[in-house]
A = this chain, B = another copy of it.
Amino acid sequence: MLTVNGLSKAARITPDAVRHYMRIGLLVPSRDPKNGYRLFDDEALKRARFIRRAKGLGFTLQDIQTIFSYADNGRSPCPEVRAIIQQRIAENRASVTELGELLERMEDALERWKSMPDGEPDGDEICHLIESVPLGR
């Protein structure tokens, strides 16, 4: 049986993460009657490692909740898992695209600014560099 710190080391996550997972119900400890310490069994260790793996694949903690509730009710989570990851892949593609477009705007701006002098405060503009950039729709 492991304490919070012990579990955090065995599963290679921070103690704060362990506490967080407890708070949201992903990990449920028992108690040492002697001192009230939380104790985690092998099942909890398995879960903690699973969480680490799943997070590394882009599953959210909510997703992992869902997966656990399937498993806890004796049903296979696999079909859901396939569906969820497709969803997350789509979201991820969208945000990569979006971030890439932002990055391009940023680089363009920096480049254009190279040939522009710094402005002096004139009570009319806040920063002419930024104000020289066209508004996105």
Contacts and interface: CB of A to CB of B under 8 A. Distances in A.
Interface of A: 46-47, 50, 52-54, 56-59, 67-68, 71, 74-79, 81-82, 85-86, 88-89, 92-93, 95-96, 99-100, 102-103, 105-107, 109-110, 113, 118-121, 126-131, 133, 135-136
Contact of A126 (B77, B86, B92, B128): B77
Given A56-B105, A76-B127, A89-B106, 8 more contacts: A47-B126, A53-B130, A54-B130, A57-B106, A57-B133, A75-B121, A76-B121, A82-B110
This chain: how many copies in the complex?
2
A85 B107 CA distance: 9
Contacts of A78: 118-119, 127-129
Q: Which of A86, A102, A133 has the most CB of B within 10 A?
A: A102
